């Protein structure tokens, strides 16, 4: 009686080992994201459990952690700072990014299209500290001159900078969403005599709606988490803004500016980690929502009989 050939030779063992190693690589992403949450919680836990006052944190605009007799940790002004800058950035950036995505995806062809895509990609490459420096040294005097205000480091300045920074990711994701709309949709509309912009507005944009929402969400996430540019261009004063010319301070910028001056383990230090936990949770929620929207969009086409993407798995 012959045995089945024993396949456990050297190649088999190498194959097994590599499979485990490669799986470990894949799992590392989960380990890291969990690690981030665990370690910032570990450092901020003392504040969260002992000192954290929900009403003060979310509803008091008084952030005075360095006060000797009565330090307060109200994050409202910081949240308002982040929200106002991100909000203005989105107002500036969403129409232009979606417009650019429509031009690149639906109108431009061939070489023009490739060139524009490369330029948008290069836009994304500019480091945030350089953007901050641009806000400080170019936008600041420009705003003072044009609007005749005493200080040019304000919501307007950082909003514009942040808008330009968030534009590439929104353009790229939005263009992907447009590309995911099956050509059959376009052809059907064109066969009925629709012009290009009619096809775009009546067919492609509604069909790509989920992806466009995802693109906007990712832009918001980007603006929410941006640190150096906002630190340098927003004026950095704790303030509930009432106009675009007010200086504000963002959550991220507060951590960046103050962490270096705190003693490890102090209330102030732990409060800054608590801001970090808040930032982590909010951006996690935004990314999760964006992912749900992207997936929702994809599933829709698949249900309607689009051939699923070729799988690399046998």
Partner 1 sequence: MFEATERNRRNRKVEGLFRLLFLWMTCMLILPVALILGVLIVRGGPAISWEFLFTRPIDNMTAGGILPALVGTVWLVVVALIASVPVGVAAALYLSEYAPDNRLTRAINLAIINLAGVPSIVHALFGLGAFVIFFRFGTSILAASLTLAIMTLPVVIVATRESLQTVPLAFREACWNMGATRWQTIRKVVLPNSVSGILTGVILEVSRTAGETAPIMFTGAAVFMPFLPQGVLDQTMAMSLHLFVISTQVPDVPEHMPFGVALVLISLVLAMNGLSIAFRVYLRGRKKW
* Shortest separation between residue 196's beta carbon and partner 1, angstroms: 6
* Shortest separation between residue 243's beta carbon and partner 1, angstroms: 23
* Shortest separation between residue 215's beta carbon and partner 1, angstroms: 13
Half-sphere exposure of 206 (CA within 13 A, CB side): 8
Beta carbon nearer to partner 1, 70 or 109: 109
* Shortest separation between residue 242's beta carbon and partner 1, angstroms: 26
Helix crossing, 10-46 with 267-303: angle to 10°?
A: 130
- Measured CA to CA, the distance from residue 225 to residue 82 in angstroms comes to 9
* Torsion angles phi and psi, residue 210, rounded to 5: -60, -45
Beta carbon nearer to partner 1, 59 or 91: 91
* Shortest separation between residue 279's beta carbon and partner 1, angstroms: 5
Beta carbon nearer to partner 1, 138 or 243: 138
- Measured CA to CA, the distance from residue 308 to residue 314 in angstroms comes to 15
- Measured CA to CA, the distance from residue 152 to residue 122 in angstroms comes to 27
Beta carbon nearer to partner 1, 19 or 64: 19
Beta carbon nearer to partner 1, 15 or 59: 15
* Shortest separation between residue 135's beta carbon and partner 1, angstroms: 10
Beta carbon nearer to partner 1, 115 or 243: 115
Alpha-carbon dihedral sign for residues 138, 139, 144, 146: positive
Residue 173: CB partners within 8 Å, gap ≥ 6?
Answer: 211, 214, 215, 218, 294
Number of Cβ atoms within 10 Å of the Cβ of 83: 16
Helix ranges (H only) for 126-154 are 128-134, 140-147
């Amino acid at each position: 009686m012959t045995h089945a050939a024993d396949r456990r030779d050297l190649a088999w063992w190498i194959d097994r080992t590599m499979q485990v190693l490669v799986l470990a690589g894949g799992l590392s992403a989960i380990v890291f994201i969990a690690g981030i949450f665990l370690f910032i919680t570990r450092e901020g836990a003392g504040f969260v459990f002992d000192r954290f006052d929900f009403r003060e944190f979310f509803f008091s605009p008084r952030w005075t952690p360095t006060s000797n007799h009565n330090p307060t940790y109200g994050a409202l002004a910081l949240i308002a700072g982040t929200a106002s800058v991100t909000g203005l950035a989105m107002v500036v950036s969403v129409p232009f990014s979606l417009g650019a995505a429509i031009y690149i995806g639906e109108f431009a062809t061939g070489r023009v299209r490739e060139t524009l895509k490369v330029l948008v990609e290069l836009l994304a490459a500019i480091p945030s500290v350089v953007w901050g420096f641009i806000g400080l040294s170019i936008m600041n005097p420009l705003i003072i001159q044009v609007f005749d205000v005493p200080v040019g480091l304000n919501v307007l300045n950082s909003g514009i900078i942040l808008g330009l920074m968030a534009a590439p990711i929104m353009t790229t994701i939005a263009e992907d969403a447009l590309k995911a709309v099956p050509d059959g949709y376009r052809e059907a509309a064109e066969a009925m005599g629709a012009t290009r912009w009619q096809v775009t507005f009546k067919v492609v944009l509604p069909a790509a709606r989920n992806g466009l929402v995802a693109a906007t969400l990712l832009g918001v996430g980007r603006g929410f988490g941006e640190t150096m540019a906002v630190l340098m261009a927003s004026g950095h004063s704790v303030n509930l803004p009432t106009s675009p010319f007010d200086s504000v301070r963002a959550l991220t910028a507060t951590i960046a500016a103050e962490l270096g001056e705190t003693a490890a383990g102090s209330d102030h230090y732990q409060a800054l980690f608590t801001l970090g936990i808040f930032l982590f949770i909010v951006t996690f929620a935004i990314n999760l929502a964006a992912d749900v929207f992207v997936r929702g969009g994809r599933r829709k086409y698949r249900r309607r009989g689009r051939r699923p993407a070729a799988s690399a798995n046998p």
